[in-house]
Amino acid sequence: MRIGEVIGTVTLNRWHPSLAGARFKLVVPLSLAHLRGQARKPAEEITVFDQLGAGVGHWIAFSEGREAAMPFYPEDKPLDAYCAAILDSVYLPEPDAAPAEPPEPPAPSQTAHASANRTL
């Protein structure tokens, strides 16, 4: 799954019958550096199948390859990229921030402890 920004709509003259009722969006994939504002947007664009109604300027989460067609399984759809979500916000921790302490593991239960000490 990747994050991208919708920059336009693709208009098709003909389409596969299974793709009727949705739109194709032109999307620029964004890297972590782009999301942090540390790099310019790349020149690469990708066409994404969109049933959610994303508009120009929206950030979306999209999947590519075989995973793009999996939401429609067992129906076959000739897709290479699928819009899975329209993102309201994206939280990025500060790059210098120290990683948070991992939570304490749960205490082992009496049953698990007893079975771990059993010899076979």
Q: Confirm whether 105 is domain-assigned.
A: no
Maximum distance among all alpha carbons in the chain? Answer: 71
CA dist list (Å): 72 to 18, 41, 101: 10, 31, 40
Q: Confirm whether 89 is domain-assigned.
A: yes
Q: What global pTM score does this model have?
A: 0.69
Q: Confirm whether 90 is domain-assigned.
A: yes
Residue ranges making up the domain that contains 20: 2-99
Q: Confirm whether 118 is domain-assigned.
A: no
Q: Confirm whether 20 is domain-assigned.
A: yes
Q: Confirm whether 26 is domain-assigned.
A: yes
Q: Confirm whether 117 is domain-assigned.
A: no
CATH number at residue 9: 2.40.50.220
State yes or no: pLDDT of 111 exceeds 70: no
- Of 23-27, 30-34, 65-69, least confident by mean pLDDT is 65-69
> How many domains does the structure of the chain reveal?
1
pLDDT digits (tens, 9 = 90+) for 53-106: 899 999 999 988 777 777 777 877 778 888 989 999 888 887 765 566 666 777
CA dist list (Å): 55 to 34, 36, 58, 69: 20, 22, 6, 22
Residue 39 is predicted with a pLDDT of 78
Q: Confirm whether 13 is domain-assigned.
A: yes
